[in-house]
């Protein structure tokens, strides 16, 4: 019989990985996703909004720009500092607080809306993270998420990383959060789940430029390259190059890779 998955140890390693680069370098390019999600959730002025695994604050800023009272959380403090800098630059009043998506330090039904863009999907204990999001939303409130699908560029990139550095037994793929069927298992039959497939376009000079940026700043890719010996790192680079060039819609002089994600609005219970 397999030993139970040590989520605490996994989370520590994961936290170290995300802190090892600077996600904000990539995160700022994804701002449009937060804006679209804010509209999909129909945010109202004055609503209490929680951004879970907020990164550098794309959904945070989108909600604050719409007059919401926003609390922005992540378990990587340096990312919250980047979000705070952005909010201050725009004169937005946001509360930033370090918090674990699997143990949110808030009372039941504290928020009108909970948001997460490409964040909560990476929580190791997926069921616990989903239950925590549901717990802190008031009856009739909304949970809004943007999650990469298994077939997206990011989903395929993580499959490649997993072949080179297999995850511990019992750990489920983050990309499951990008499938409607799995979302229904997480939130239960009582949840109203609206799903809209969308595309985000990654724009870089070339495959080599993309890999250089992600290898330097995107924690999981940064740690993967650092953990591999040179000959295996070269194979990883080749496989990522082949993936990117195979998906490129930008022609020979540029890299433009569409990456599918699901825009999700979950409504739990009624007022």
Residues 167-192: pLDDT tens digits?
A: 887 788 999 999 999 999 999 998 99
* Residue 245 included in any domain: no
* Residue 85 included in any domain: yes
The residue written with tokens 């009582």 in the block is 190
Measured from the Cβ of residue 165, the count of other Cβ atoms closer than 10 Å reads 13
State the pLDDT at residue 134.
97
Q: List the beta strands (DSSP E) in the chain.
A: 48-51, 69-74, 94-98, 111-117, 137-148, 192-204, 255-267
- State the total domains in the chain: 1
CB 118 within 8 A of CB 146: yes
Instruction: Give the contacts of 147 (CB within 8 A, at least 6 positions apart).
Output: 118, 121, 174, 175, 177, 178, 261, 262, 264
* Residue 218 included in any domain: no
State the pLDDT at residue 30.
97
Instruction: Round to whole Å and give the CA distance between 196 and 260.
Output: 10
CATH number at residue 56: 3.40.50.150
Note down pLDDT in tens along the chain; length 271 residues. Answer: 455 677 777 777 777 777 777 888 999 999 999 999 999 999 999 999 999 999 999 999 999 999 999 999 999 999 999 999 999 999 999 999 999 999 999 999 999 999 999 999 999 999 999 999 999 999 999 999 999 999 999 999 999 999 999 888 778 899 999 999 999 999 999 899 999 999 999 999 999 999 999 999 999 999 999 999 999 999 999 999 999 999 999 999 999 999 999 999 999 876 4
* Residue 89 included in any domain: yes
Helix (H, G, I), strand (E, B) or coil at 118: coil
What's the domain range around 94? 7-148+168-200+259-267
* Residue 210 included in any domain: no
* Residue 196 included in any domain: yes
pLDDT in tens, 197-243: 999 999 999 999 999 999 999 999 999 999 999 999 999 999 999 99
Helix (H, G, I), strand (E, B) or coil at 166: coil
* Residue 244 included in any domain: no
* Residue 211 included in any domain: no
């Amino acid at each position: 019989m397999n030993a139970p998955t040590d989520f605490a140890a996994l989370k520590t390693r994961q936290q170290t990985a995300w802190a090892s680069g600077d996600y904000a370098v990539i995160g700022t390019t994804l701002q449009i996703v937060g804006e679209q999600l804010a509209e999909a959730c129909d945010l109202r002025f004055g609503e209490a909004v929680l951004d879970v695994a907020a990164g550098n604050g794309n959904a945070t800023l989108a909600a604050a720009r719409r007059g919401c009272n926003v609390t922005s959380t992540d378990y990587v403090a340096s990312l919250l500092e980047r979000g705070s800098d952005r909010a201050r630059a725009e004169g937005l009043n946001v509360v930033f607080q370090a918090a674990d998506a699997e143990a949110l330090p808030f009372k039941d039904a504290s928020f009108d809306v909970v948001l997460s863009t490409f964040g909560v999907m990476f929580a190791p204990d997926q069921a616990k993270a989903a239950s925590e999001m549901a717990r802190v939303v008031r009856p009739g409130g909304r949970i809004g998420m943007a999650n990469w699908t298994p077939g997206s560029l990011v989903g395929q990139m993580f499959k490649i990383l997993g072949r080179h550095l297999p995850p511990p037994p019992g750990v489920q793929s983050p990309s499951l959060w990008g499938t409607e069927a799995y979302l229904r298992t997480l939130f239960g039959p009582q949840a109203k789940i609206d799903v809209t497939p969308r595309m985000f376009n990654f724009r870089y000079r070339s495959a080599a430029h993309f890999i250089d940026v992600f290898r330097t700043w995107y924690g999981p890719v940064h740690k993967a390259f650092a953990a591999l010996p040179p000959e295996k790192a070269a194979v990883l680079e080749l496989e990522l190059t082949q993936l990117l060039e195979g998906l490129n819609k930008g022609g020979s002089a540029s890299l433009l890779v569409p990456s599918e994600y699901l825009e999700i609005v979950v409504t739990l219970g009624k007022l």
